Structure 1
């Protein structure tokens, strides 16, 4: 295993930061948490913290400019996930969904349609609250991705 992936986290609103750190420690994989200055993150062993300004896309821009092929990015942002995939990295949602070429186009279209509805005065539902099952699903998916890397030297 020559190229150790970094788990890069869109940490502003990530609900599974603790789970990421636990799984990363098991596989001795570094974690980079990227958040705006509005969010307080505590440094700890194996976790690098990068704080960026609070403008709208600062976290996304930092992540997209610093990821490498094979890195694992945890984000709820479909736009960022699209960029991540184009750079040869893996994109996971905090609920354990792996974004890939087979689903990202649909997710982006759905986001666009919901945004159009809201601009037109329509109402849309937000995401359901994170459950303990969602957290377990995420941990299992991240573990599978890291096992795949460990076995094949690629995530």
Structure 2
């Protein structure tokens, strides 16, 4: 199964394309505002409004043999701990070896933003190269899951 944390996810179409090619069921999880797909492999899951409700839904279900697509580092950490393979939108894979560092960096950036209320942006935009890296990483992840 592929779980997609779909709120603000820039690679939903890519997940659908690659997942369909591999015949893998997918759950697109959000708080709403997403048009349901006609693809029979896709389950569109609309969760209740509230902070981290979609994340909780995914974290409760993801485990070994699953792929999770998210930009949310705390969710990624939970899914890695549960044994799922986790990919960020840029194609970066989060593992036991690097997810704690990613959490620490997230916390540091939160603290920096809180210390300087005039700080604007700071994040880079999503590029074609990111999309390409994501497609390659998802392809490799699905092959790895299929082998195990």
Same fold (TM > 0.5): yes
Cα distance in 2 for residues equivalent to 1:136 and 1:35:
24
The answer as to 2:34 corresponding to 1:40 is yes
**Corresponding residue number in structure 2 for 1:55:** 50
Residue pair 1:114, 1:124 contacting (<8 A) in 2 also = no
Superposed CA deviations along residues 106-153 of structure 1, whole A, max 9, x for unmatched, are: 111111111111222252644321111111110001001112233x2x
**Corresponding residue number in structure 2 for 1:72:** 67
What is the aligned counterpart of 1:137 among 114, 133, 140?
133
Q: For 2:30, what is the secondary structure of its paired residue?
A: strand
Superposed CA RMSD: 1.4
Superposed CA deviations along residues 26-72 of structure 1, whole A, max 9, x for unmatched, are: 110011000002x2222221110000112011011111112232210
Unmatched 5+ stretches in structure 2: none
Q: 4+ residue runs of structure 1 moved beyond 4 angstroms?
A: none
**Corresponding residue number in structure 2 for 1:83:** 78
What is the aligned counterpart of 1:19 among 2, 14, 26?
14
Unmatched 5+ stretches in structure 1: 1-5
**Corresponding residue number in structure 2 for 1:3:** none
Give the structure-2-normalised TM-score: 0.92
